[in-house]
Every structure is written in structure tokens, then in C-alpha cells.
Structure 1
Amino acid sequence: MTTKLMKTALTAAALILVQGTAFAQEFTFKLHHFLGAKAPAQTQMLEPWAKAVEENSGGRVKIEIFPSMTLGGRPPELVSQARDGVVDLIWTVNGYTPGLFPRTEVMELPNVYENDPRAANLALYDMFQDQLKQDYKGLEVMFLHVHAGQAIQMADSDVRAPADLAGKNIRIPTRTGAWVIEALGANPVAMPVPELPQALSKGVVDGAFIPWEIIPALKIQDQTRFQIEGADRTRFGNTTFQVSMNQARWDGLPDDIKKAFRDASGRDWWGKVGDIWRASDDFGIKVATDAGNTHVTLTDAQTEAFRQAMEPVVQRWIDEVAAKGIDGAALVEEARRLIAENASGASN
């Protein structure tokens, strides 16, 4: 090969390499969330999901994850950050913006969700297109999910009956959760979860309604002595979460890139997320008991006493959303039906 031909070949190869690199970085997205980089929500859910999207796109998509609100703001601002295009993607708690996602709240209600995150997530998937989607104006939902459900974690007090919570200050992230706490005779204290350890250590709250999963990430085992749940892992309501994209950013994507996201966010993934949160929950309670905390499982009778005390919350929600033209009773019926239909039994 002549020197001229060799230079031409090297130039062409370099151009192909540059073009390939540009092609690989054609679509970059910033995903912002409120927990730390080592929390299971990132390591076991967000990172695998992002990797799946990137692989589906043939390397054309890059998702950069920014934990712990490192792009600025507070957790309640995440929805507006996505809607306003400040960030491309968010993972957040729906209840950090109270009343903004009223239909989806059905999966937070006590005695609707009880103990099966996989079944609840699949129910959310099955309900989304026809019954929940209109909650999410300005957002393109990638997936919704719940965690394993609100358990009771107390700094110093054992709890075996609703009366044991009377007058206690209890942290909760959602308005429906606040109603549960009020129905049980306690005082709800709303705050994003990163603020919980300090609130417990300073006595601002006596406990929290929150799953076991968060124990290792925030070292809750050091601030509490009692972890309480109902029989058969029954919980006291739940929290809904979303991973969503700015609508304008989504609308501007070509169909093959949209498909990369959709293929990573299908029904099977929604169900798998439930399994991820169940496994994280099991690990969290082990951390607490290994630290010497007491894990209380209520008897069937004790669990029923809580169920009866919480049932008015369901009707309160039905009455409240009726003012917005929402048939809450129909949503409750459908959520219960689909949870039962999707129950695998494996996580009960």
C-alpha cells in the first residue's frame, strides 16, 4: 500500500471511529432521584433498568443517574423538574406532591394493598392505560411501582394494638398514609425519607410507617428498637413511585429509541420490580434483627383490629376523590380484583 493510500485509509478509519462514538452517545438522559447511590432502589432497580434501555438501543442511549438530589432541589420538586424539563427522567414518590396523582393513590390504601408488591405492580400496569394515565400530564411514565408496604418502626415503643399508637408522632410520606395514622389515633408528620434518621434521633417523631427496605440505607436499626407488621406480612397501606420522562423529550424521540425504553419497561419488568422490593425488604429486616431489634408479627386477631380501624380511610378516599369526578369505589374494586388475580402466592 502506498503512503498516500495508507493515509487515506487511516483517515477513513479515524472518521468511522469518531462517527461511531458520536452515534453511541446520540441520546443522553439525566435521571434524578432522592436516595443515595448505594440504596437498593438505584443498585437493584434503576441501574439494571437503565442498562437494559442502553442495550436495547444498541448503545445509542446513555442514562446518567444522579442520586441524593445532586442536581439540586428537594424531593418534592422532582415532579416539577421533570415536567419543566430541568431533568429528563425522575424516580420519585408520588405522595411527595400530594393530590397530584389521585387515581394512583388507590394502591396506597390500607386493606387494598396488603402484602404482595408483585401483584400490586402488575395491577398498576393493568390499570394504567385506561384508569390511571390521565394523572400524569406532562410526563411519560416508564413504570410505576410500590414497595413492600408500610410497616411500623418505633424508636422505643412496642405496638400490638391501635391504642398503642395513641398520641404518637409518626412519619409518613403521603396524604393517604397520614389518614391511616390519624385513624389509628397517632399524629402524622410528613417528611421525605432522607430526613427520617435525624427526626428519630432528635425525638421529632416516635416512629415511622415505612418498609424494612430502607433500614440499611438510612441505618434505621440504630434509631429504632421495634419493627412491627401484621400477620402474613400484612402492611398498613403503601407508597406509589414513578419513573417518568419529560413529555416533550419523549415526544421528540424517534420510534426505535422509544421502543428501547418500552421494551425495558414492559409488564414483566413491573412485576420484577415487585420482587426486587420484596427481596430488599427481607434483607432490611435481617439487618434490624441482627442489630438486636425486635421483629413483631401481629396475631390474626391483632391484625384484624388494625384492619377494622383503617377501613374508614378507604371510604374517606372514595369520598374525597369524588369531588374531582373520580369513581373511587370502582378503582378500589378493580385494584382489589387485579391484585387477587395477579397474586402469585410466592411473596405471601
Structure 2
Amino acid sequence: MFSCFKSLAAAFALGGMLFSSPAAAAEKPVELAFMGCYVEEHPAVTSVWKPFFKAAEEAFAGQIAFRYFAENMLYSNQAEDAQGISDGRAAFGCIRPAVHPDSYRLLGVINVPGLVPNAVVGSLVLEDIIAKFPAVRAELPKNSTHFTSWTSAAYQIGTVVPVHTLAELKGMKIIVWDAVSHALVRELGAEPVRVSPADSYWTFKRGLADGILCPLPPLRAYRLTEMVKHHLLLDAMVQGFVEEVNLKQWDAMPKDMKAWFRSEGGSRMSLALGRVLENGVKADRAAMEAAGHAFCTVAEADRPAFKSALDTVTGRWKEHCKDLDPKLVDAVLSYARERAAYHSAAFEAGKYER
């Protein structure tokens, strides 16, 4: 499989002639590998990216064709995400700052617990941050240009047995997918179990976990709802995703194609992805409730302890950035909070509804 992408990268190195030559276009479209972090059945893929692929292929008929890859399908593990974009194995590739916090320290602000309430607000805030700060963009993979970004829905804790209080959570083995979740689960008194999303199912099946910290939709996408039937609604945080384009392949595109991608990406796609993810939360919760799942919120008596745990993880983010310019770190956090307040108010007012 990798040889075909080496050939693709080499083909792009020839420049825009691939797109400008009618004869070349008529022979075979250039295949663009799009790595998107989600399984192919995920609503983000079916409702946003596949229609985007179709529209692009129709707009530039015969010149390009997209091929979608879920996480770990184009390269072997998450550690290769950035390199896979830089070396051209992915024409469009996704990175998750929370998985590699040492590489994306400023970007990690979007993972600050309690910053944003949902995927719509989070997606727009993350895109604003990337657009605002050159230092944030400098953290993105080498040899890439920015396409769009978004966030997950809010993280909740799902468990095999009922959990109503933080005391009941203490000591439980909770699956986490990234470093930020790991830190938060530990602060809540539980024991984090770090695995990939795809490995979560068998971790439960083997009795190695009592619960999981993640948004609601992945529970269905990864077939976890047969085991996880109790949900403590924390709205703890969101996780960021950034989609970058390999620079050599981008530079090979004609101007009209670049302009089209720019118009379809950015905040426009951020909002589309955020909407899909929030709609997924509503639909999945309704389906889970119909199947007998139980939902509860944090008990009033636990709210101070929960807030303390969130504040501790926020402090750890700032500590993680301690060798960066303190004024820059404060400016990024302040701007993130400002944009979160703005987009939250707009969301509540119905501005982002279709």
C-alpha cells in the first residue's frame, strides 16, 4: 500500500501539470489519501467528508479522487500521524494534540477542562485559535498547510455498574485515549487505563476496565454500549482534531483548486463537523435511553471536588508550557476563553443551527 503513496507524492512533485493537462486528467485522476481519525461509518465521515469528497471530485472532474482512511489504517499507529502528513503518505491528515501533548503545547489549550460546552463551540474556538496565533500554527506538522479543525463532543464517564458520586468512582479502572484524559481520571481518584479507541472493546471484554471517559457517540461507534450502560454526565472537556494538507501536494494544485479547498475548509467545515457531532450526541443519548441506559449528573455535594480536579488539570497545562513565553501562554488561554464565551452565547441564541 505504501508504494502507491510514494508514487503519489512523486507525482505531485511534478507540479501543477498533473492538473492542468487535459490528457493527464483524462487518463487517471490523482488519488488523494485522506486520513480522518474516525471509522468509515462515523457521522463525520458519512455526513461531512464523503459529501465533501463528492463535491470536490465533481468540481474538478477527472483530476482528483479521494480515498478515505480511518485512524491507524494508513500508517501503523498514532505516533506516525504528523510524519505521515509531512512525508506525503497522507495528502490530508489528522492529528490529535491531546495524544502528543509535548508536540502541541499551545494547541493543548482546547483540551483545558471546562473551557467549552460542546463540539460546535469547541470546533469554532479551535479554528479561531489556529487562525489568530502564528506560534500555534508553528506547532503543526512540518511541510503542511492548515485545512480545518474541530473538537469532539463533551466527555462523559460511562461505566459497567451505576456510579452516582466521585466516591463510587474512586479506584475504578477507566479507559482513556489520551494524556489529558489520563490526568483528569487520576485527579478524580480513578485508575486510568490507556488504550486506543479501537482496543477499547476488547479491554472491556477481558474485564480490564470498569468504565471509559469519552463522548457519547464513540460508545456506539466502537460497540461499547452492550457493556457500558450507566453514564455520569460531567461535560468534562473536549478533545481537538486538526486536519492538515501535505505542502508539496498542496503546492502542486492549481490556484482554483486551492481556492475551492480554502472556501470549503476552515471555520465552515469546523461548524459542519461540530453540528454533526452534537446531533450525534442527541441521537445516541435517545437511542441509549430507549435501550435502558441510565444517565445522571454530578451530585451537588461533589461539584467543588470536581471543579478542583478540573482546575488542577488546567494548571498542569500551564505548567506544561512553562518554558514558553508566559505572556503568549496567557494570551492564548485568555483568547480561548473569550472566543468560548462568544461562541457559547451565539450557540445558545440559535445562531449555529441550520
User: TM-score if structure 2 supplies the norm length?
Assistant: 0.83
* Residue 148 (structure 1) aligned with residue 143 (structure 2): no
CA–CA distance in structure 1, aligned partners of residues 55 and 27 of structure 2: 15
Asked if 1:338 corresponds to 2:339, the answer is yes
SS in 2 for 1:73: coil
Which moves more between the two structures, 163-172 or 219-228?
163-172
Instruction: Find the counterpart in structure 2 of residue 278 from structure 1.
Output: 278
Residue 19 to residue 331, structure 1, CA distance change in 2 (3 Å)? closer
Q: 1:308 to 1:56 in 2, by over 3 A?
A: farther
Measure how far apart 1:107 and its partner are: 0.8
Cα offset, 1:75, TM superposition: 3.4
Percent identity, aligned pairs only?
A: 19
CA distance 1:168–1:264, shift in 2 (3 Å)? same
More deviation in 144-153 or 21-30? 21-30
Shift of 1:174: 2.1
- TM-superposed CA distance for 1:33, in Å, is 4.2
Contact 1:318 1:328 in 2 (8 A): yes
Q: How many residues align?
A: 325
1:200-246 deviations in Å (ceiling 9; x for gaps)? 1212222111001112211211121211214xxxx112211122222
**Contact kept in structure 2, 1:166 and 1:184, CA below 8 Å:** yes
| Contact 1:54 1:260 survives alignment (8 Å) | no
Counterpart amino acid of 1:336? R
Look up the match of 2:123: 121
- State the alpha-carbon separation in 2 of the partners of residues 137 and 67 from structure 1: 19
Could you tell me whether the CA contact under 8 Å between 1:143 and 1:243 is conserved in 2? Answer: yes
Question: For residue 66 of structure 1, what is the amino acid of its counterpart?
Answer: F
Take 1:260 and 1:27, find their aligned partners in 2: how far apart are those partners? 17
Of 122-131 and 102-111, deviating more is: 122-131
- Counterpart in 2 of 1:243? 243
Distance 1:159 1:107 in 2: 27
User: Which is worse superposed, 191-200 or 120-129?
Assistant: 120-129
Question: 1:37–1:68: 8 Å Cα contact kept in structure 2?
Answer: no
- The 8 Å contact of residues 151 and 212 in structure 1, kept in 2 or not, is answered as yes
Task: Supply the distance in 2 between the matched residues of 1:283 and 1:24 (Cα, whole angstroms).
Answer: 44
**Larger displacement relative to structure 2 (273-282 or 135-144):** 135-144
Q: Identify the residue that residue 310 of structure 2 maps to in structure 1.
A: 310
C-alpha contact (below 8 Å) 1:112/1:332 kept by paired residues: no
Rate the CA distance shift 1:167–1:43 in 2: closer, same or farther, 3 A. Answer: same
Mean CA deviation greater in 253-262 or 45-54: 45-54
SS across alignment from 1:313: helix
Which of 20, 42, 46 is the aligned partner of 1:43? Answer: 46
CA distance in 1, matches of 2:37, 2:122: 23
Larger Rg: 1
After superposition, the Cα gap between the structure-2 partners of 1:304 and 1:58, relative to the gap in structure 1 and judged at 3 Å, is farther
Take 1:35 and 1:301, find their aligned partners in 2: how far apart are those partners? Answer: 37
Q: Could you tell me which of 157, 162, 165 is aligned with 1:160? A: 165
Task: Pick which of 292-301 and 207-216 moved more.
Answer: 292-301
Deviation track 1:299-320 (CA, whole Å, cap 9, x = no partner) reads 5554454123321111111121
Q: Does structure 2 conserve the Cα–Cα contact (< 8 Å) formed by 1:150 and 1:211?
A: yes
Summarize deviations over 1:266-285 as a string: whole Å, max 9, x none: 32221221111101122222
Paired residues for 1:120-269 under 5 Å: 120-131=122-133, 132-138=136-142, 139-161=144-166, 163-230=167-234, 235-269=235-269
Q: Distance in 2 between matches of 1:270 and 1:168?
A: 35
Deviations 1:83-121 (A, max 9, x none): 2222222234333334222111111111212x1321221
Amino acid at match of 1:270: S
CA contact (8 A) 1:31 1:90 kept: yes
Structure-2 separation of matches of 1:301 and 1:120: 28
Q: Which residue of 1 aligns with 2:81?
A: 78
Structure 1 residue aligned with 2:94: 91
Query: Structure 1 unaligned runs (5+)?
Result: 1-17
Closer/same/farther in 2, CA of residues 160 and 149 from structure 1, 3 Å limit: same
CA distance 1:284–1:303, shift in 2 (3 Å):
farther
Q: Which runs of 5+ in 2 are unaligned?
A: 1-20
Displacement of 1:56 in angstroms is 4.2
Match of 1:8 in 2: none
Superposition RMSD in Å: 2.5
- In 2, the alpha carbon distance for the partners of 1:86 and 1:284 equals 34
Partner of 2:9: none
Inter-partner Cα distance in structure 1 for 2:114 and 2:130: 20
Task: Answer yes or no: is 1:27 the counterpart of 2:30.
Answer: yes
